[in-house]
């Protein structure tokens, strides 16, 4: 079976970003947990991981984000550095 690849380079292994929050004060609404984070708050920790949101969708049950990790060219997911776990605290 042949495997096709995109000339853009988006195919490849999925990258994972895991963030543990150590202080409840980071949330504007502690009952909303991660969904209560504002977009500027989300962008702040994604900047640290060299990620950016390129598309998002939301409904009453979940928020979905498409992220591309950059390493000198747009969409270079297959050559991006592995990002480990990051703890965000005030």
Instruction: Say yes or no to pLDDT of 66 above 70.
Output: yes
Is 2 part of a structural domain of the chain? no
Is 1 part of a structural domain of the chain? no
What region, left, alpha or beta, does residue 58 occupy, with left being phi > 0 and alpha being psi -120 to 50 degrees? Answer: beta
Q: Which domain holds residue 56?
A: 18-88
Mean pLDDT of 43-67: 81
Q: What CATH number corresponds to the domain at position 33?
A: 3.30.360.50
Is 13 part of a structural domain of the chain? no
- Structural domain count, the chain: 1
Residues, the chain, total?
A: 90
Is 6 part of a structural domain of the chain? no
> Residue 35 has which token pair?
């969904």
pTM of the model: 0.47
- Give me the percent of the chain exceeding a pLDDT of 90: 0
Question: Chain-wide mean pLDDT for the chain?
Answer: 62
pLDDT: is 57 or 89 the higher one?
57
Cα maximum dimension of the chain: 52
Asked if 68 contacts 3 with a C-beta cutoff of 8 angstroms, the reply is no
């Amino acid at each position: 079976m042949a495997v096709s690849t995109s000339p853009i380079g988006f195919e490849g292994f999925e990258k994972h970003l895991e963030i543990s929050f150590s202080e409840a004060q980071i949330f504007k609404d502690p009952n909303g947990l991660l969904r209560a984070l504002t977009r500027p708050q989300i962008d702040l920790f994604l900047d640290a991981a060299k990620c950016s949101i390129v598309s998002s969708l939301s409904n009453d049950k979940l928020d979905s984000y498409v992220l591309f990790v950059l390493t000198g060219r747009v969409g270079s997911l297959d050559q991006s550095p592995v990002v480990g776990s990051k703890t965000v605290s005030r």
